[in-house]
Chain A
Amino acid sequence: MGWLKTGSSKPSAGLKGVLREVLSYKSAIAGIVILLFLIGLSVYTMVTIPLPEAIQAWRSSEAWSRNPRNAQPEWIELFYGRRLPRTIKVSLGETKASEVLREDGTLSVSWVIHFNYDYDDFPSEIIVFFNSSYVEKPVVEIYWIRPDGDEILLKKHSLRRPDDRLYLSNDLGLELKLERLFESKIGKKPNFTVTVEKGLFSEYSQDPRVLKGVYGMRLEATLSKNDVLNAELVVYGTVHGLAGTDHLRRPLIIGLLWGAPIAMSFGLTTALLTTSLGLIIGTISGWYGGKIDSVIQRIVEINAVLPFLPILILLTTFYRIDLFIILLSVVVLSIFSLGIKGTRILVMQIKSYPYIEAAQAYGASNMRLILFYVIPKILPPVVPGMISSVPGFVFLEAGLSYLGLGDPFLPTWGKIISDAQTNGAFYKGMYYWVLEPAFMLILTAIAFALIGMALERIVNPKLKEL
């Protein structure tokens, strides 16, 4: 078993050496730090948000009804220098109602809820969610109490269903009422369009100015004896969480976090399979020569003539689009790339080396020669290439997702960019929506590129001198 000893001890010493050398490159250290961060992020994501939950959450619209639409991330305030509104949710349930029993046996109930509003901008939307059970549809009166004491009747509303919603922002009647109120308070038409949000939260002034303070909402309803009424006032902000939300109110953070393990596992697995299978095929081609070689060379030529991306798309749609099929298709199309010609020529040279002849002399099989004598010899220059090929695969997956040809269920970075573009992020200036996934993509790509380049210099001494 002599060969095993030298065979196994040498690469490990080499590995240590390589690691020490890699760490002598600052760029490689940066790459490794980014990579470790991304791996940590992926592990954290997979532990805290299991994939089925993430997929379900990403695809359901109901789960996010209390999130603002197209909200920017909270840290964006740093650039604006103002406090931007968060989403405020106040429920009736917690406040004690005043109840009056009428002669006809119905209850006249009233609730008052309060919340503090001290942001520098107006909210994006106001909705009242009802949650009730009743015999006869109750009529609800909603009053708005401003910090300056003014009280406005917002709406007299007959519940249409137990879980009715009152979209105050879309209420044109209310808008008109508020506009008249402003006109009468300041004596002339204000300089701005009085939307519901501005009408409710602005000072009575010529220009919109947020009136800070404690706001209140009073609800009055007439209920039968066993009726239950609960309501939640949601004043939507313009910022949300670490990453903001998209057009379906989904928190982008879920997509951004889950994008990491998806992109990394796709990139790494594809790179590993493509490189190792390509290596084996190239070696077989060079080792055996003859018919096997010419068949492999013809396949390479056929593959070179076919345009990669269209054939890849055809292959994936031929079956069904999911990440695994995409991965397999990429591997199938990549292993017969022109790159294996280089391996083939190297192997042809190695084949005539004395140590191979010696091994052949004591009767080593072809399999053994290839696996233990040839491949270890040609492996070093291949590894940097493998690492450097990861970004390409990461962007390939992102590109396919961007085209709408990626996995339809998984939340990926490419899909977020595509969503952003088709929903007018460029036009409306929602930078965060595009920049966040793009930043994650670039971070991942650069990490592998930096490490790959350092490795390339280490194994290719000619480059090292330059």
Chain B
Amino acid sequence: MTIPKGFLKFVGKRAVLLLISLVIAIYISILLANFGGLIDEMVKADLLMSITMNVRNNPAYQGLTASERQRIIDSMYQAALEARGLNTPFLVRSLYHLKNALTMDLGTALYLTSDSGSKQVRLIILERLPQTVMLFTTVTVINFFLNLLGGLFIARKYGSKIDKAIAALAPTSVIPGWVYGIFLILIFYTWLHVLPPGGLVDYPPPKDPFLYFLSVLKHMILPMLSWIIAGLFLGLYSNRTFFLIFSTEDYVEVARAKGLPPRQVDMGYVMRPTLPSIITGLSLAVIGSWGGAIITETVFDWPGLGRLLAAALSYPDPPVIVGEVAIYAWLLTLTVLTLDVIYAFLDPRVKVWGG
């Protein structure tokens, strides 16, 4: 099978457009995270201050006159600026940051460190990523299939009591997960004393790996539950409505009239044409979950990427902020491009490359 030339051209054009968006987005985040160069000034002031203090307190320089001392301070300050690249103007530096962020060379953090003591942004992020994926990606996938299969089930029971109950409960999903999280903590921690209010593991952490795993699992219950509840009713309701709309299509009626079993009708005739949008939804949700959730992680004191970002934002620590945003933006862009390509290739209705 040969790949049509028009298709390659389409993919190339799409890739270029998405990459331009990516570059601009990351550059905006660099400008914002550095407060348009303000952070550089703060770092410079800190440097000058600490060098001045060092020289003043150093007994070796005590005998020198004020102007000689000032000269030493100046030369040390210049050297420090050069070592950090701070002697070039911010605009130039921002382009340098951009190149680094685009090539995933994330550099070192200003203030934050990883638990192992490293200032490497890459290591800091990698240390937090597993916790976030473990919690939020899991719950995103669970939510997705729960709502999908539940929605299909309820669509089949159209008009029943459960169907009406779900429709009536759908407005509860405007309440975000973190608010449910607060309620769950009140119930299961404050009132019943059965589950921990937050954190990753018990303190002190169990030595045995299996017990450690169980302890982490125990700490995951409430945050996961809060997101499941938050997404449940609206998720069920909108999936149900989605399937109902699709199940009134003529070809589904025909399949039913042929006497196909309901299961086969659901899977082969209702679900199948909706598959592209379902896959899009799932992949975007999974990518979104990798950013963690700032508020939910704060409520549950969960050491993931969201909390890291919150900490980086409050310092502020631009390399960490830019690092997280860059990873997120890259993942999202690649996913969107991949989906575009797959659909353009598979769906005969999307004849984007002409012909």
The interface of chain A, by Cβ under 8 A from chain B, is: 27, 298, 301-307, 309-311, 313-315, 317-318, 388, 391-392, 395, 398-399, 402-404, 417, 421, 426-427, 429, 431, 434-435, 438, 441-442, 445-446, 448-450, 453, 462-463, 466
Contacts and interface: CB of A to CB of B under 8 A. Distances in A.
A305 B25 contact: yes
Interface string B26-39: 00110011011000
Contacts of A402: 178, 295, 298-299
B310 A463 contact: no
Nearest to A313: B313
B325 A310 contact: yes
A150 B25 CA distance: 78
B242 to A, nearest CB: 10
B335 to A, nearest CB: 11
Interface string B307-333: 001100110100001001100110011
A403 B298 contact: yes
B325 A307 contact: yes
B168 interface: yes
22 contacts: A298-B20, A301-B21, A305-B25, A305-B332, A307-B291, A310-B321, A310-B324, A311-B29, A311-B325, A318-B32, A388-B174, A398-B179, A399-B176, A403-B295, A421-B182, A429-B190, A431-B186, A435-B186, A438-B183, A445-B174, A446-B172, A449-B174
Interface size class of B (residues with CB under 8 A): 35 or more
Q: Which 8 A-B pairs have the closest CB atoms?
A: A449-B171, A391-B174, A301-B21, A305-B25, A314-B32, A449-B174, A305-B329, A399-B295
Contact of A441 (B35, B179, B314): B179
A117 B172 CA distance: 45
B170 interface: yes
Nearest to A417: B182
Given A301-B21, A313-B313, A314-B32, A438 B170 contact: no
B32 A315 contact: yes
B245 A466 contact: yes
Given A314-B32, A403-B294, A301 B18 contact: yes
A427 B190 CA distance: 6
A27 B168 contact: yes
A310 B305 CA distance: 12
B174 A426 contact: no
A305 B335 CA distance: 11
B17 interface: yes
Given A314-B33, A395-B176, A426 B190 contact: yes
A444 to B, nearest CB: 10
Contacts of A404: 314
Given A301-B17, A426-B190, A438 B333 contact: no
Contacts of B179: 395, 398, 438, 441-442
A306 B28 contact: yes
Given A310-B321, A431-B190, A466-B244, A446 B174 contact: yes
Q: Is the interface of A mostly helix, strand, loop or mixed?
A: helix
A441 B175 CA distance: 9
A139 to B, nearest CB: 47
A105 to B, nearest CB: 61
Contacts of A388: 174
Given A392-B174, A426-B185, A304 B197 contact: no
Contacts of B324: 307, 310
B186 A466 contact: no
Contacts of B176: 395, 399
A463 B321 CA distance: 42
B241 interface: yes
B153 interface: no
Contact of A403 (B17, B25, B190, B310): B310
A87 B187 CA distance: 30
A417 B298 CA distance: 13
B189 interface: yes
A450 B185 contact: no
A343 B74 CA distance: 60
A435 B174 CA distance: 17
A462 B241 CA distance: 9
B49 interface: no
Contact of A306 (B18, B29, B36): B29
A271 B321 CA distance: 28
B295 A445 contact: no
A450 B324 CA distance: 37
Contacts of A403: 294-295, 298, 310
A375 B291 CA distance: 37
B22 interface: yes
A297 B176 CA distance: 29
B142 interface: no
A337 to B, nearest CB: 14
B93 to A, nearest CB: 18
B175 A445 contact: yes
Contact of B313 (A301, A310, A398): A310
Contact of B32 (A27, A304, A311, A417): A311
Contact of B17 (A298, A306, A311, A417): A298
Contacts of A399: 176, 178, 295
B197 to A, nearest CB: 5
B241 A463 contact: yes
Contacts of A298: 17, 20-21, 24
A310 B183 CA distance: 25
A309 B183 CA distance: 23
A453 B197 CA distance: 34
A100 B183 CA distance: 62
Interface string B179-201: 10011011001110000010000
Contact of A317 (B22, B36, B298, B316): B316
A244 B244 CA distance: 49
A301 B17 CA distance: 9
A302 B18 CA distance: 8
Given A306-B28, A403-B310, A426-B197, A434 B186 contact: yes
A318 B318 CA distance: 12
Nearest to A441: B179
A431 B192 CA distance: 13
A307 B328 contact: yes
A450 B21 contact: no
A301 B14 CA distance: 12
A466 B244 CA distance: 8
Given A317-B316, A453-B170, A310 B309 contact: yes
Contacts of B18: 301
Contacts of B175: 391, 395, 441-442, 445
